[in-house]
């Protein structure tokens, strides 16, 4: 005993060491992936950035200082095909100067000459306004080094209050999440159009670039090594006030709405093709991206992903990994998995809270750490720690259904002696001629064939959620609706019967190819109320089973199927529950042995989607004549059916009855019920 105790303690100690080792290895793997910025995981992380905007936070109120002068469909319709003559821009600048707008940032450049007089007029209007900023696009190589630029005509650009670059560099998936606030050209840093707008709004003339920030007055703008700032979008397209270009130049906009505004002029019409993909929308006008950059700087609403956020990421990777391992080791998996799900959901909410505070904390890597910890810890527990419990469940499952084992795991009290009333469908099946088969075969061959047959039938029964109650020699008792309620228990049973028939046909072909006589099965089914529960001696031997008249009658129907020569005989209660989906033939009204109340029985033919044979209608007509005591007419109908289908045993039986009743008619009070004399 001492040696056994020592061995168990050593195993437990080794298990604890292994668990700690697995936990730290899992966390190390995720931190290594994070450190190397795995491109696959980074793509998912970027999508969570978009998710936090569109699906979690939604739109927020943008800066009241910013508005859009839109080159929209209305303007193109009124002013003509775009691009327009620069005379239209002169009219716009004059209107905005009169309205006392703070600055006009033009998301366009004018690198080609139009006409000397018009160009001079345009330059003069820009110079007179003194607050017009023009755009400059840059060309880059693959290393983001400037290889060229496109400026407006010298006389036009020199008249402007400044220039701002309009380069938007989307991520690998095409989404614009960052903006390079500064681009170096010939040793000079050129600000972006958005940064120029913010400078005008804040009254700042200069900026001071640093390693990971740009100082603008008393504002510190967080950037990376390329002077790129994460854009904190205020909302989807149209979130900023838009004023149509044509409405301004034609005096239809109240000047008070334009006074003191930072105005971004750009295309919003789809036909001009200046649309960008943002976290909010796949068709966002590029001018609104520049406006969003200016909005972030003016309001100080930044998104930071710096060294502090990296430390938080690694701390959360370690925390979620360790906590998940702890939960997995302490709780059963069916409890640990929901617990880890709740933990992960809480962490997602925490990352969203950080996001609202302006910090991009990783969502993917800590969740990946939790997933790896759950799978690794869960596998270790399943393969090592829960082995004895699994062996016990396996032992019970050898003679109880999986559903019963699951129920007993959840509710051990269910194993007590007693029962409940249940609405179920019960089915009995057996093999035609099995007794004679077994008498002419060796015991080994009988058992082998029987096991092959039973294995195939159990697979079909499991497919339709049935529970095998017991094997009775070559017979099977199956039920639906217990221990767990199944509202469609009757339809499941009927569908199972049809699939059993199909499976037997496939087995028959296999057995014929093996030169073996195939089995043919028959069965009976009935729906009704039973008592379902554990029957037996508490602590010794118990069996979950069904008891009641429904079970007895279902067994009688299986025996009656042999008399009528049909594969499956269905009771009236099952027929009423399934006739909207399956096709039946009414066979007879019978009293089974030991019962006074007659029951109507039916042959299962197939589904309603299958075409109905004419002979079934003829059989129904013949049956009606038989019950009307018209023996001669009924006999003729049954004889006609047998000419087409000689093997139809119900027609043979009724033909014999008609011939008998012609000579020995029943009493006038006869109710058409046939009394069965055997089981």
Per-residue pLDDT of 330-354, as tens digits, reads 777 778 788 888 988 888 899 889 9
298 closest CA partner among 104, 132, 64: 64
What phi and psi values does residue 475 have, to the nearest 5 degrees? -95, 160
The pLDDT value given to residue 393: 55
* pLDDT for the residue 395: 42
**Is it the case that residue 363 has pLDDT exceeding 90?**
no
147, two tokens: 């290889």
273 pLDDT band (50/70/90 cuts)?
confident
Per-residue pLDDT, 401: 54
User: Which CA distances in Å does 359 have to 4, 313, 422?
Assistant: 55, 11, 58
Rounded to the nearest angstrom, the gap between the alpha carbon of residue 209 and the centroid of all alpha carbons in its chain is 47
Residue (of 162, 234, 220, 164) closest to 192 by Cα position: 164
Q: Which two tokens stand for residue 303?
A: 């998104």
- Given this model, what pLDDT does residue 171 score? 85
Q: Which helix (H) or strand (E) holds 533?
A: strand 521-537
Q: Is the pLDDT of residue 574 over 90?
A: yes
Which helix (H) or strand (E) element contains residue 508? helix 489-513
Which of 418, 178, 388, 409 lies closest to 296, judged by CA?
Answer: 178
Q: Which residues contact 517 (CB under 8 A, 6 or more apart)?
A: 437, 511
* Residue 459 predicted with pLDDT over 70: yes
Unique residue bearing structure tokens 């049909």: 566
User: Which residue's structure tokens are 């904390």?
Assistant: 361
Average pLDDT over residues 215-219: 89
What does the alpha-carbon distance between residue 20 and residue 322 come to, in Å, rounded to a whole number?
9
From 253-262, 383-392, 627-636, 656-665, the region with the lowest mean pLDDT: 383-392
Reported as a pLDDT band with limits 50, 70 and 90, residue 308 is: confident
Model confidence at 2, pLDDT cuts 50, 70, 90, reads very low
Q: Terminal CA-to-CA distance of the chain, rounded, Å?
A: 60
Residue 72 tokens, joined = 């929209």
Q: What percentage of the chain exceeds 70 in pLDDT?
A: 89
User: At 651, is the pLDDT very low, low, confident or very high (cuts 50, 70, 90)?
Assistant: very high
pTM of the entire predicted model: 0.54
- Range with the poorest average pLDDT among 170-174, 384-388, 671-675: 384-388
**Arithmetic mean of pLDDT, 260-270:** 91
Query: Does residue 397 register a pLDDT over 80?
Result: no
Question: Which has the closest alpha carbon to 105: 135, 76, 63, 81?
Answer: 135
DSSP string of 69-102, one letter each residue:
EEE-HHHHHHH-SSSPPHHHHHHHHHHHHHHT-S
What's the pLDDT score for residue 375? 78
Q: Is the model more confident about 372 or about 500?
A: 500
- DSSP strand pairing (182-185 vs 242-244): unpaired
Edge-to-edge strands of the sheet including 219-222?
Answer: 208-209, 213-216, 219-222
Of the candidates 591, 643, 651, which has an alpha carbon nearest to the alpha carbon of residue 621? 651
Examine the pLDDT at 675 and tell me if it is beyond 90. no
User: How would you label 90-113 residue by residue, b for 16+ Cβ within 10 Å and e otherwise?
Assistant: bbbbebbbebebbbbbbbbbbeee
What phi and psi values does residue 415 have, to the nearest 5 degrees?
-85, 0
pLDDT for position 306: 82
For residue 483, whether the previous peptide bond is cis, meaning omega lies within 30 degrees of 0, is yes
For residue 386, what pLDDT is reported? 54
pLDDT digits (tens, 9 = 90+) for 465-507: 888 888 888 899 999 988 778 899 999 999 999 999 999 999 9
Q: Which residue, 538, 559, 457, is CA-closest to 504? A: 457
Query: 364 and 41 in contact (C-beta within 8 Å)?
Result: yes
The whole-angstrom separation of Cα 575 and Cα 564 is 17
Calculate mean pLDDT across residues 545-569.
Answer: 90
């Amino acid at each position: 005993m001492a040696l056994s105790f020592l061995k168990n303690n050593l195993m437990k100690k080794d298990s604890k060491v292994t668990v700690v080792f697995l936990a730290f290895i899992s966390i190390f793997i995720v931190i290594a992936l994070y450190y190397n910025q795995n491109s696959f995981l980074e793509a998912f992380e970027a999508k969570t950035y978009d998710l936090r905007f569109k699906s979690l936070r939604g739109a927020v109120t943008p800066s009241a200082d910013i508005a859009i002068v839109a080159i929209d469909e209305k303007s193109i319709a009124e002013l003509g095909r775009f691009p327009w003559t620069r005379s239209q821009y002169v009219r716009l600048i004059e209107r905005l100067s009169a309205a006392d707008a703070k600055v006009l940032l033009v998301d366009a450049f004018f690198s080609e000459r139009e006409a000397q007089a018009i160009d001079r007029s345009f330059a003069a209007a820009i110079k007179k306004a003194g607050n017009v900023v023009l755009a400059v696009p840059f060309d880059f190589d693959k290393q983001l080094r400037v290889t060229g630029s496109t400026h407006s005509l010298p006389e036009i650009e020199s008249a402007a209050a400044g220039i701002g670059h309009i380069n938007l560099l989307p991520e690998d998936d095409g989404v614009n999440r960052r903006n390079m606030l500064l681009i170096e050209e010939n040793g000079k840093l050129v600000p972006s159009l958005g940064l120029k707008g913010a400078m005008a709004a804040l009254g700042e003339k200069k900026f001071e670039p640093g390693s990971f920030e740009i100082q603008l007055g008393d504002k510190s703008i967080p950037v990376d090594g390329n002077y790129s700032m994460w854009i904190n979008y205020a909302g989807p397209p149209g979130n900023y006030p838009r004023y149509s270009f044509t409405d301004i130049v034609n005096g239809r906009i109240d000047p008070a709405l334009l006074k003191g505004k930072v105005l971004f002029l750009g295309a919003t019409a789809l036909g001009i093709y200046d649309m960008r993909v943002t976290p909010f929308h796949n068709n966002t006008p590029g001018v609104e991206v520049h406006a969003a950059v200016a909005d972030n700087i003016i309001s100080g609403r930044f998104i930071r992903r710096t060294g502090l956020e990296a430390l938080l990421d690694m701390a959360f990777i370690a925390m979620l990994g360790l906590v998940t391992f702890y939960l997995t080791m302490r709780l059963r998996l069916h409890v640990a998995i929901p617990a880890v799900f709740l933990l992960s959901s809480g962490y997602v909410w925490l990352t969203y809270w950080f996001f609202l505070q302006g910090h991009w904390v990783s969502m993917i890597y800590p969740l990946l750490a939790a997933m790896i910890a759950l799978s690794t810890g869960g596998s270790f527990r399943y393969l090592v720690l829960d082995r004895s419990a699994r062996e016990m469940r396996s032992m019970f499952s050898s003679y109880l259904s999986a559903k019963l084992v699951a129920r007993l795991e959840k509710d051990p009290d269910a194993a007590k002696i007693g029962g409940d009333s249940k609405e179920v469908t019960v089915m009995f099946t057996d093999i035609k001629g099995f007794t004679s088969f077994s008498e002419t075969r060796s015991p080994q061959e009988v058992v082998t064939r029987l096991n092959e047959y039973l294995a195939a039938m159990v697979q079909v029964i499991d497919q339709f959620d049935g529970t095998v109650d017991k094997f009775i020699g070559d017979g099977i008792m199956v039920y639906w609706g217990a221990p767990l309620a199944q509202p469609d228990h009757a339809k499941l049973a009927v569908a199972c019967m049809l699939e059993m028939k199909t499976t037997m046909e496939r087995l028959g072909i296999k057995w014929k190819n093996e030169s073996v006589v195939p089995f043919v099965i028959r069965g009976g089914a009935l729906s009704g109320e039973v008592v379902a529960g554990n029957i037996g001696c508490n602590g010794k031997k118990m069996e979950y089973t069904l008891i009641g008249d429904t079970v007895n009658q279902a067994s009688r129907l299986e025996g009656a199927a042999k008399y009528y020569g049909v594969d499956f005989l269905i009771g009236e209660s099952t027929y009423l529950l399934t006739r909207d989906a399956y096709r039946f033939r009414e066979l007879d009204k019978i009293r089974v042995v030991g019962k006074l109340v007659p029951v109507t029985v039916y042959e299962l033919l197939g589904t309603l989607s299958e075409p109905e044979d004419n002979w079934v209608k003829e059989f129904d007509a013949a049956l009606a004549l038989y019950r009307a005591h018209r023996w001669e007419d009924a006999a003729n109908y049954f004889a006609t059916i047998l000419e087409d289908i000689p093997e139809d045993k119900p027609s043979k039986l009724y033909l014999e009855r008609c011939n008998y009743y012609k000579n020995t008619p029943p009493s006038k009070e006869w109710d058409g019920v046939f009394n069965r004399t055997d089981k």
